[in-house]
Amino acid sequence: MTGFVSFVGSGPGDPELLTLKAVDRLKTADAVLFDDLSSGPILSHAGKGTDLVGVGKRAGRASPKQSHVSQLLVEYAQTGARVVRLKSGDGGMFGRLEEEILALREAGIPYEIIPGIPSACAAAAAAGIPLTRRMTARRVQFVTGHDVDGTLPNDANLVALADPMATTVVFMGKRTFPALLEKLIAHGLPRDTPALLAEAVSTPEQSLKRTTVSELAKELQAEFSPNPALILYGPLATDYDDG
């Protein structure tokens, strides 16, 4: 027997931001393998008899190995189950989607990918700002601040990331942003570039802090919150009041 796997993007955390297709797959799933940030009220859409398996990875916490998660997907599907692999935000963005797809392909298991609202888009919406603007922010770029060993990636395109006319979103970058900023300043990024720290976006714990890149780096060195966060910097990051 061969089942089917639906990779479902759950969005940033607010269950009202789920797509209709995501809700449908949750309702009909035999098993849901979910990330930490996709838990809580989102899982209420799953049926009563559904197996709910937490497989989330969080920095600084004990987490299942990726090979184990991929093997679980294969094993569930091989029983003929309809499996949902629930990933926060959009699963194709820094979500280790490719490793799990490859495991399914090797096992001959069919799958689909259902996109979710990226957390970067949700953060900008929560702050009441666009990500692009004609003439001053023609480009938006997403980058991870977290390599597989938890350190700052050493192959980042620093010239592109130091472009003051782009909107840049750093995923998983709170621990490494001070080190990244040193490199960006050396490549020409102004110290007073607007920045936004968006934590726990679209959840009751949401926090938005508008500042500059240099002030943000100082604050992250002095105090660290465990909440998941994005860092946005560029010409639009602090353009608007909180309302």
Per-residue pLDDT reduced to its tens digit, 58-90: 555 556 888 999 999 999 999 999 999 999 999
Of the residues 21, 36, 57, 209, only one is catalytic, namely 57
DSSP at 153: P
Task: Please provide the average confidence, as pLDDT, over all residues in the chain.
Answer: 92
Kindly state the tokens that stand for 99: 């490793």
d(CA 22, CA 51): 17
Nearest CA to 41 out of 15, 7, 17 is that of 15
Predicted pLDDT of residue 64: 80
**C-alpha 188, offset from chain centre:** 27
Distances (CA, A) of 228 to 127, 197, 240: 16, 10, 23
SS3 of 67-134: the string is HHHHHHHHHHHHCCCEEEEEECECCCCCCCHHHHHHHHHHHCCCEEEECCCCHHHHHHHHHCCCCCEC
Predicted pLDDT of residue 161: 97
CB atoms within 10 A of CB 8: 29
DSSP at 38: G
User: Which class would CATH give 4-114?
Assistant: alpha beta
Interval 227-242 mean pLDDT = 81
- The share of the chain scoring above pLDDT 90, in percent, equals 79
Of the residues 35, 87, 163, 174, only one is catalytic, namely 35
57 is catalytic: yes
Binned at pLDDT 50, 70 and 90, residue 46 comes out as very high
Predicted pLDDT of residue 242: 47
30 is catalytic: no
User: pTM for this one?
Assistant: 0.89
pLDDT digits (tens, 9 = 90+) for 194-219: 999 999 999 999 999 999 999 999 99
27 is catalytic: no
Do 4-114 and 119-233 have matching folds? no
Q: What is the CATH number of domain 119-233?
A: 3.30.950.10
Of the residues 14, 30, 172, 174, only one is catalytic, namely 172
10 has pLDDT over 70: yes
Q: What does the domain layout of the chain look like in residue ranges? A: 4-114, 119-233
Predicted pLDDT of residue 32: 97
